[in-house]
Amino acid sequence: MTKSVYVALFATVYLLVYIILFTLDISFNWILLLFSLSPLVLVWLTLSVLSDHSVQVQDLEEEEEWGYADRPGRRGLGIF
């Protein structure tokens, strides 16, 4: 597994812990701490996913700006 998968798992567990603590009304200080650190977790998750180069992506050719890399031609879009 790549680093971004571990970061996504961490962010998911972080969110679940926050929801469980909030639902059970355990400690307001812990809830406030997790809530205040959540933007940092989301920025870390976003940056790790965007900087992950484990999947090779081909550049689109000319006149394919609105297409998908895994579907050839306009017929692959299903809207034309």
Within 10 A of 22 (CB to CB), how many other CB atoms are there?
14
DSSP E strands in the chain: the ranges are none
3-state secondary structure of 50: helix
Query: Is there a domain that residue 10 lies in?
Result: yes
pLDDT in tens, 25-49: 888 999 999 999 999 999 999 999 9
| Statement: residue 10 has pLDDT above 80 | yes
| Structural domain for 30, as ranges | 1-49
Does residue 63 form part of some domain?
no
- Number of alpha carbons in the 13 Å side-chain half-sphere of residue 28: 0
| Residue 60 covered by a domain | no
**pTM for the predicted model, two decimal places:** 0.68
Q: What is the pLDDT of residue 12?
A: 97
Among candidate residues 54, 58, 53, 52, the one with its CA nearest the CA of residue 70? 58
Identity (one letter) of the amino acid at 61? E
Look up residue 11 and give its two tokens. Answer: 């962010």
Q: Is residue 74 part of a domain?
A: no
Domain-located, residue 79: no
